[in-house]
A and B are shown apart, each in its own frame.
Chain A
Amino acid sequence: MINKAICLSALALLLPLPIYAGKAGKAQDTNKAASTSAQNNVQPDAAERVFETNCARCHMPPSALSQRTTGTVVMHMRMRARLSQRDEQMLLKYLAP
């Protein structure tokens, strides 16, 4: 019975892989926040990278954040994700340029 469970689990875990293998393509972030930053000249690459490498680690990143809440949310996430002060500054520039 337990072997059956392991087999089924392995199957379930492997299920996404064929799709994964067959669809190697560039990541496209349809994030509104990402497009906002591209329109502004605030070190878009570095700041965008900080957002992209950090904000999808634990949950679906927000597609939009109002400017007035950005500072509060980023402070909160800095504590949760143990981000550096530098990362916080980059994120603020990126999300509320």
Chain B
Amino acid sequence: MPVASIKQRYVAVTIALCLAAAHHGRAQQAAEPDNHAGRVPVISGGFGYVHNVSGGATSLIPQINPVLLVPFGQHVLLESRTDFTGFFERQNQTSGPFKGKVFKTVEFAQLDWFANSHIMAAAGRYLLPFGIYNERFQPIWIKNLQDAPITATIGTRTSGSGDGLMLRGVATQRPQYSLQYTAYFSAHSKINQLQAARVAGADASIYLPQARLELGTSYQRFLEGHRINSVATYASWQPSSQPFDLKAEYDHSHNGHGYWLETAYSFRQLSAPHFFQRIQTVARIQQFFASNGGGNGLPSIDTQRFDFGLNYYIRDDLRFISSYGRSFSSHTDSNIWNIGFTYRFLFPLWPEKRQ
């Protein structure tokens, strides 16, 4: 039997066993006393299309990122996300037929264990928790602007994911604040779809629920080749009185440092016709300063960029997106346009038995 088909069978049997075990676990689980929340396996994720024009060259970018969630009782969760992104460009940049291919990436495939509030452990492939972008804003249906910040590659080398172990939790929680931590170690991996670098890192943040403000910092040590340290500090603020959102991050590594600051405002509280209340405006400013020649996913020269976006929420899970950006550097200045739509889906994998 060819190796590929053995592999496929193995994957299919593993998934079937997981689903069966999850079903069994759920059936065995004692009824929860004060709620009716079910824990059925779920398939969720984002789906969308972005039409990008960057410096005059057009790219067509359809994407789907299914997320599989399989709980085993109340303390264990299997979660995985695979990204399928098509990238099609004109043959000669600005003329000719569109050509390209679909890239497939396993972004995470991890088993989570919820011991208590202080300790949650994840084993397997996980998103590198550096700063706030990679772990929180990467999904197409979440990000307000489709292009990642210039500094997004700091602390996420080499693939954005780590293979190993991650511990996280709430160190302490009071009505006025809570302190969260994450610590992780990833081994080097060259396995197809599971590439990762040997890194170790940690993140800590404080969340003030009354002000709805989170402040945090991340540290990472790259433990192969040229060993380097990366650090980030970030802030996230959503005042309770207004549908306003501010996110900002400063990143520093051997190859450069820079920041991005993004604000978003939703019109949903405006006393305007319903049509206008679905609009969200977004603005982002970024500055990057190269050091040691840049590289490792960072520009080799200082770069500035601003973006302005206009999103239209048809529903909370479906929206039209559009943005204009301009990038400035001593090498070239260019315009970047994005237009498209995003959709978040969420389906139970089977109906729950009525009690």
Contacts and interface: CB of A to CB of B under 8 A. Distances in A.
B241 A27 contact: yes
Interface residues of B, number: 76
Contacts of B267: 19
B60 to A, nearest CB: 25
B224 interface: no
Contacts of A83: 170
B306 A23 contact: no
A1 B141 CA distance: 33
A1 B351 contact: no
Chain A interface size band reads 35 or more
Interface in B39-78: 39-42, 44, 69, 71, 74, 77
Contacts of A82: 120, 168-170, 180-182, 205
Nearest to A12: B283
Interface in A54-97: 54, 56-63, 65-76, 78-80, 82-86, 89, 92-93, 95-97
B304 A19 contact: no
A30 B313 CA distance: 14
B71 A20 contact: no
Contacts of A25: 241, 269
A63 B240 contact: no
B118 to A, nearest CB: 9
B82 interface: no
Given A70-B38, A79-B120, A80-B135, A20 B306 contact: no
Interface in A3-26: 5-6, 8-10, 12-13, 15-16, 19-20, 23-26
A28 interface: yes
Majority SS of interface residues in chain A?
A: helix
Contacts of B71: 71-72, 75
A92 B35 contact: yes
Contact of B212 (A57, A62, A80): A57
Q: What is the interface of chain B mostly: helix, strand, loop, or mixed?
A: strand
Contacts of B168: 79, 82
Contact of B42 (A24, A73, A78, A89): A73
Q: Which of B114, B265, B283 has the most CB of A within 10 A?
A: B283
B348 A69 contact: yes
B137 interface: yes
B23 to A, nearest CB: 12
B38 A71 contact: yes
Contacts of B173: 84, 86
Nearest to B262: A13
Contact of B37 (A57, A74, A85): A74
Contact of B351 (A28, A60, A68, A89): A68
B291 interface: no
B343 interface: no
B87 interface: no
A93 B270 contact: no
A1 B283 contact: no
Given A12-B285, A23-B270, A72-B71, A92 B37 contact: yes
B328 interface: yes
A75 to B, nearest CB: 5
B328 A1 contact: yes
A34 B123 CA distance: 34
Contacts of A16: 244, 263-265, 281, 283
Interface of A: 1-2, 5-6, 8-10, 12-13, 15-16, 19-20, 23-28, 30, 42, 49, 52-54, 56-63, 65-76, 78-80, 82-86, 89, 92-93, 95-97
For the complex of A and B, list the 7 residue pairs with the smallest distance between their C-beta atoms, beginning with the closest: A68-B38, A16-B265, A9-B306, A71-B39, A9-B285, A96-B37, A12-B283
Given A8-B326, A16-B265, A42-B35, 6 more contacts: A10-B285, A23-B242, A59-B141, A69-B348, A84-B117, A86-B173
